[in-house]
Structures are given as structure tokens and as C-alpha cells.
Amino acid sequence: MSGVMIVTGGSRGIGAAIARGAGARGWHVCVDYRRHGAEAEAVAAEIVAGGGTAVAVQADVSVEADVVRLFQEADERLGPVAALVNNAGIDLPVAVAEVTAEQAQSLFATNAFGPVLCAREAVRRMSTARGGSGGVIVNVSSIAALYGGMPGDVIYAGSKAAVDALTLGLAREVAGQGVRVCGVRPGMTATEMWGDSGMSLDEVQRRAEAFVPLGRVGTPEEIAGAVLWLCSAEAGYVTGAIINVSGGREINIPPSG
């Protein structure tokens, strides 16, 4: 399966690994980014250098007008979208007792409302009931959605639980319209997001050794592999499924988180 794929938050980490892998598999990739333009352009350039097709487009998925423009640019520059990967996300470690309304709204705007807006635009184009040719949506959630997150990360976990609910409900809603909807729940993964939240990768590795049965953090490429399989023809009979790619984190959750 190939065609046009939009990867939100595609400039770094898991999103960049998904974009690179998609390009190598023959997808025409739209690399969405909010702030990291140079990195997004570098990802697109790497895909093109490998013989693929890719463009970088700036759009903040929490802003409706940006989402509409993102899909319009993908239409114009690459063609009809066949796959959407809702990967863009932010973290804001803060205790519930300390959070402001603005902080909570910002986190949910990107992590939960953004996927809704992007899914809306994708379904409008993909749905066979609307003249489309079908397609697939993969939502990148988090293993934290299953257990509520570590202390100080509860709001993030809640936003990802919303993504899981979107995945399941939307899968039912569009199953008869040629659109598959699936999800992936990453566990502790070596990405820049940890540094953005003030935690070093060494500390993340120590936590992984304590909490993850496989005893290590995952790589962005390991998460990307699951996402790209769900987007492939091999997963043509899969919808409403959410795959845990967490080193077994969900089977080893101590009461302390």
C-alpha cells in the first residue's frame, strides 16, 4: 500500500522515524511540523535523497485553520491523502493540584483536539461515502493512557486516553466507508520529548530498568515499525486495534506508577 501519507509532528523523534520509514516504503510523505522547521525540512530532504517524495509543511494541529491548510497543501503538492498518522503531541509535567486552565487546555488542544481535527479532514477525503478511495488513520497514543501516567503526568495520560477513545469510536464510525482506524501506544522511547520535559535520557533509562520488563527504553524506529505495518496492506483486516509497543510496560505497572 502506498500513496500520500501525512505525518503530524514529523520533524523529530517518533514522527521523523515514521516519515523516513514511510518514504523508504514508497509513500509520498507530508512532514508536518509546528516549530522545528529546519529538522522537518531535513527529514523531507533525506526522503527525497533516497529516491522518495516528501514535503515539509508548517501547521499547528491545535489550530483549526492550520489543519485545514495542512491538508489543502498536501492535496496540492502531493495528491489525495491515503494515510494519516496523528503523531503530534506535547507533554507538560505538572501535578493536577498545580495546573492552570491554560496549561490543561493547551495540552488537550494539541494531544486530543488536534487528532480530531486532522481525522475530520482525512475522513472527508478518504471516505467512500464522500467520493474518496478509502484509507487508514493511525493515532499515536501512549502506554500511560492505560494506567494514568506517572505522578505529575496525569493530565498528559488523560489526553492520550482521549486519543484511544477516538481510535475505537472512529473505527466503528467509518468502518463501512473504506477507512481503517488504529492506534499505537508507545512506552518509554528515546526521543527529544524527555529533554523538553526536563528529564535526561539517562534518567529515563534508569526508570525503564525499574519498570519495563525488557529493561530498556525503545527506539523511535521500533514505534515507527508498528505504525507503518498498520498503514500497510498486510494490516488490511485490522481496524479498531491499538498496539502496545512498550517493552511490556503495561504488564508491570507498580502502584507508585
Distance CA 1, CA 63 (A): 30
Q: Which residues are the active-site residues?
A: 156
Per-residue pLDDT tens over the stretch 231-244: 999 999 999 999 99
Rounded to two decimals, what is the model's pTM? 0.94
Please tell me the predicted confidence (pLDDT) of residue 35.
94
Per-residue pLDDT tens over the stretch 113-132: 999 999 999 999 999 999 99
Residue type, 150: M
Per-residue pLDDT tens over the stretch 159-187: 999 999 999 999 999 999 999 999 999 99
All structural domains of the chain, each given as residue ranges with its CATH number in brackets, are 4-251 (3.40.50.720)
